[in-house]
Structure formats: structure tokens, C-alpha cells
Amino acid sequence: MSTLLGHNFIGGARSALGQSQHQSLDATTGEALPYSFVQATDGEIDAAAQAAKAAFPEFRQLSPARRAEFLDAIADELDQLGDDFVAIVCQETALPQARIQGERGRTSGQMRLFAQILRRGDYLGARIDLPLPDRKPLPRVDLRQYRIGVGPVAVFGASNFPLAFSTAGGDTAAALAAGCPVVFKAHSGHMATADLVGQAIIRAAERTGMPKGVFNMIFGNGVGEGLVKHPAIQAVGFTGSLGGGNALCKMAAERPQPIPVFAEMSSINPVIILPQALDARSETIAKDLAASVAMGGGQFCTNPGLVIGLRSPAFTAFLEQLAGQIDGQGPQTLLNAGGLRSYSKGVEHLLAHSGVTHLAGKVQDGKQAQSQLFKADVSLLLNGDELLQEEVFGPTTIAIEVADDAELQKALLALRGQLTATLIGEPADLSGYQWLLPLLEDKVGRILVNGYPTGVEVCDAMVHGGPYPATSDSRGTSVGTLAIDRFLRPVCYQNHADALLPPALQNANPLGLRRLVNGEWSDQPIA
């Protein structure tokens, strides 16, 4: 395994000019691990951003095939991180070995998927309108458009996915695929993991001849503000809390040159259980839902935090079944002590609320999280109570009973933006409740039927986004190939000589792209 230096990654070299250090911790015991990381100085933050800026002109002009080679090399390096690496990730996060091994495969697979996108070429969005010199009353000139990277991207990794949403995660993969160098802010919860993954990226960059500043990484507290405000940075990717995302959005908006922040933040992911489904399979639903709530200590942004059902004896019986399943979930170690404190505080707030009843779950104390089930009066949601809108990051869910379809509609309209919404129903339910779909489309990024939201497939069709506060910009996704769109912008070329055009727009179509030519799709050269 590579040596853990604990130094910042700047322009292809390691740098440690800071005077303070941060210690990696064992997530289970809280004890210090033998890995320390040097706080980045203001000068190092500037140097990292400048290195990314210097790399951008060369990196973005590389052919898609060359950038794809780089991403494939990163994937290969990730796959070669062995058992010693997995053991360190498990130490820093308290996540089980099988989970980390699976996440490593997801992360390398994500890199390879973006490499496929580059070779496919459709992300370029090539459009060509040929000249119409004889058009009346005015002729049309030659116009051609495609998309380029926006520039250096600052990426903030998530605590709950130390690989797939962190150093070499989806934001990094999408930015690199778009031709944007990255400055990554290492997460304090898994700094050793970040260091080893950063080394893997640098090895891949060196092996494939990438410019030295294509990937940079800084360690430390309070370094994010200097990074987001740096004039070289042109976009931000963030996965984390609502407060953190809002703060970054404010910083970015107040810059002399405002830049976009693509922040994935807070979601309670409602699950709506329809009547005939309860009649047909309530025990199975209770078991599967409880498993989804407790999965990974509830530390998923898609964790089902709200369960809604229509008032009936069947729903009352279902809540009893769900309570039994929640009581049967064992205690779990969370990612870090701060996460446990936050979770315990969230549970305390629910227990103290007069409109909320505790239905299941052991007393929340000690060093592990206990799964919990609460029931809240629907009036809290209808009247805008913040407690019913806020994510409790951990293995907890809240049930709400509505009187009828009209109250169900009001309850859903009262919800803020979400990543997901789930319908559990039989065919007759789904037919009778089709009216829910347009309502949910306005609220969420992904609508599930008879599944649970904690699985997020990495593919072309996935949307992992949604209206605020689920994300800061509902027009994109942080998972799947559409994630590349966040870091691209269109450029139009008017009356350019063919030889001066980028290959994607040249008459011969040397990249073999499917292009929109005079309003029709074609992969043929232009005669």
C-alpha cells in the first residue's frame, strides 16, 4: 500500500506548509489513528486553484478519447487498492468490509461509465445550421454549437460515501469527463481514505500524460470558503448538510463573478402506502421498509424519513407491524461522533414535540444509533412545522396518517422539494392514484413504485436531484451520466473556416458523432 504522507496535493506534487495538523480517527472507538494531515494554508489554497486553472486549457482541449483513457486508468487504480486500503476505510467510517468493497466497485464503474460517455460523444451536444445564402428576406450564416467544460471545479466530498461520493466520486468523475480540472476538499471524516484515493488519481494522471494540475486536494478546516471564493474556480459540487450547502451558495453568489453551486443537501423521501397494498402484503412492506430505514445506519440521503398512509384499521395494524420491525433492528455505529451527536439531537427534538408520538425504538444513548419510529399529527405538516420537513440523518422515520385523499393531496403539497418519493401499491391502487404523479413530479427528482429509495443506480436514466432543499439546482443530477451537464456550457461558432472548427463540428465529422444538422439527426459527414 502507498505511504500516507498527509500532505496536500497541488499541481502534481505534495505540499505541507501549514503549522497545524488534523488526526484521522477510528470511527468505532474515537481513538486517534496513526495518520495526520497538514492544514492547507491560504497560499496552498491559492496554489491548488491556480494549478487547476493552469491545467484547464490543455486538459479541456484533449480529445474525448484521451480523457476517457484517463478515467479508465483511475478506475484501474481504484480496483487495485487492496485489503489494506479497505481496512483503513472501515476504520475511519465504521462501515463493513463488504459495503466498502461494493462501493469501490461502484466508484470504479462510475469512472468507466463516464469514459464510455466520452467515447460516445453525445455529451458534446453538437448542433449545426448550415448557411442559407439565398434565404429571403435575410440570408442565414453558418452556425455551429457544441459544449465545453466550464473551468476548474471545487468538489466537497460526502461523509456517508467515502468512495462513491468523495475523492473519486461522481462529482469528480463528471467534472474530469467534462474537461474540468478538480480541486477537492478532503472530508475530515475519512482523510486517510482520501489521501490513498488521491494518490491513485495522480498515478493515473501520470500514466496517461495528463497536465499536472488536473487533480488537486487540500486538507483542513475552514478551507472551503477560500476555495469557493477563489476567482479560478468556476463551479462547485457539494454533498452534505442543508446549512453547509446554503453557506456555499451564498459565498458563490456574492463573488464578483458568481458561479453555480450544485449542492445535494436535505431530503426526507416520503413513502406513500396505498390501501390495497396494505391489504395484500402489509407484513412484507413493514419488513422491507424497516430494513430500508436502518440500512447503513440510516446514513443515506435517500433514507425514507416519512411514511404516509390513509386512516384505516389496516394502516393502524401496519404501524404496529412496522414498530415491531424497527424494535428488531440492532444498534449501529455511525460514521463519526459528530454524526451521532446530530442524530441524538434530532431524536431528542422529536421526543420533546407535543404533536409527535414515539412508537418504537430503544433509548438513544451510548456510542451507537438506535432505530426509531415516530408518528406525527398531519396538522404539523399542513401548518409548516419545521420538524416535519427536516432530515434526521440516521435510522429514524416518521409516520403520518391522513383522513382521506383530499388530505393526502394537501399533505404532499405541503412538502418541500425531495430527492425521491415512493408509491407502494397494487395495480388497482396505482391506477386509482394516477393523480399523484403530476403532483409528485413537481416535488421530487425520482418517483419509485414498489421499491425503496436507498438504492441509486449509476446509469444514463438516473436522476439524483430535486427541487430545493433537496438540491440547490433542480435542473441536474449528481448520479448518472447526466451529471456531466452541470460542468459544461455551450459555445457557438459563426462563419468559421472548417479547419478552424473543433473536430466535433467539422464537416468530415472525424469523431463520428450523431449531430443535429439543419434540424435532423445525422452521423454522416457534411458534403
Helix spans in 178-217 (H): 191-207
The whole-number pLDDT of residue 2 equals 75
CB 149 within 8 A of CB 140: no
The whole-number pLDDT of residue 226 equals 98
Fold of domain 39-265+477-486: Aldehyde Dehydrogenase; Chain A, domain 1 (3.40.605)
CB 267 within 8 A of CB 205: no
Return per-residue pLDDT of the chain as tens, 527 residues: 678 989 999 999 999 999 999 999 999 999 999 999 999 999 999 999 999 999 999 999 999 999 999 999 999 999 999 999 999 999 999 999 999 999 999 999 999 999 999 999 999 999 999 999 999 999 999 999 999 999 999 999 999 999 999 999 999 999 999 999 999 999 999 999 999 999 999 999 999 999 999 999 999 999 999 999 999 999 999 999 999 999 999 999 999 999 999 999 999 999 999 999 999 999 999 999 999 999 999 999 999 999 999 999 999 999 999 999 999 999 999 998 889 999 999 999 999 999 999 999 999 988 899 999 999 999 999 999 998 898 999 999 999 999 999 999 999 999 999 999 999 999 999 999 999 999 999 999 999 999 999 989 999 999 999 999 999 999 999 999 999 999 999 999 999 999 999 999 999 999 999 999 999 999 999 99
The shares of helix, strand and coil residues in the chain, as percent rounded to the nearest 5, are: 40, 20, 40
Q: Which three cell numbers stand for residue 378?
A: 398531519
| CATH 3.40.605.10 residue window(s) in the chain | 39-265+477-486
CA 491 – CA 59 distance, rounded (Å): 17
| CATH 3.40.309.10 residue window(s) in the chain | 270-449
CB 147 within 8 A of CB 177: no
Selection from 84, 82, 38 nearest residue 186 by Cα: 38
Overall residue count recorded for the chain in this entry: 527
pLDDT digits (tens, 9 = 90+) for 408-430: 999 999 999 999 999 999 999 99
Write down the pTM of the prediction.
0.96
Looking up cell 475511519, which residue turns up?
Answer: 92
457 catalytic residue (yes or no): no
Helix spans in 261-336 (H): 275-294, 313-327
CA 178 – CA 338 distance, rounded (Å): 35
Vertex 343 angle, CA 341 and 345, to 5°: 70
Q: Which three cell numbers stand for residue 356?
A: 409527535
The whole-number pLDDT of residue 366 equals 86
Q: Which three cell numbers stand for residue 350?
A: 422529536
CA 310 – CA 399 distance, rounded (Å): 11
Residue type, 131: P
From the list 44, 69, 92, 264, the catalytic residue is 264
CA dihedral 298, 304, 264, 212 (to 10 degrees): 50
Q: Crossing angle for the helix pair 97-120 and 83-93, nearest 10 degrees?
A: 110
CB 303 within 8 A of CB 346: no
Q: Reply yes or no on domain 270-449 having CATH 2.60.40.1120.
A: no
- 290: DSSP letter: H
Looking up cell 497541488, which residue turns up?
Answer: 10
Q: Crossing angle for the helix pair 64-79 and 191-207, nearest 10 degrees?
A: 130
Q: Which three cell numbers stand for residue 308?
A: 404516509
CB 60 within 8 A of CB 180: yes
All residues at 6 or more sequence positions from 27 whose CB lies less than 8 Å from its CB, including other chains? 91, 92, 93, 94, 189, 333, 334, 335, 336
The whole-number pLDDT of residue 148 equals 99
Q: What is the largest CA-CA distance in the chain?
A: 80
- 386: DSSP letter: G
The whole-number pLDDT of residue 1 equals 64
301 catalytic residue (yes or no): yes
Q: Are strands 215-218 and 356-360 parallel, antiparallel or unpaired?
A: unpaired
The whole-number pLDDT of residue 91 equals 97
Phi, psi of 239 (to 5 degrees): -130, 120
pLDDT digits (tens, 9 = 90+) for 506-521: 999 999 999 999 999 9
- Give the chain's count of helices (H) and strands (E): 15, 21
CB 52 within 8 A of CB 183: yes
All residues at 6 or more sequence positions from 135 whose CB lies less than 8 Å from its CB, including other chains? none
From the list 90, 103, 301, 401, the catalytic residue is 301
- 370: DSSP letter: P
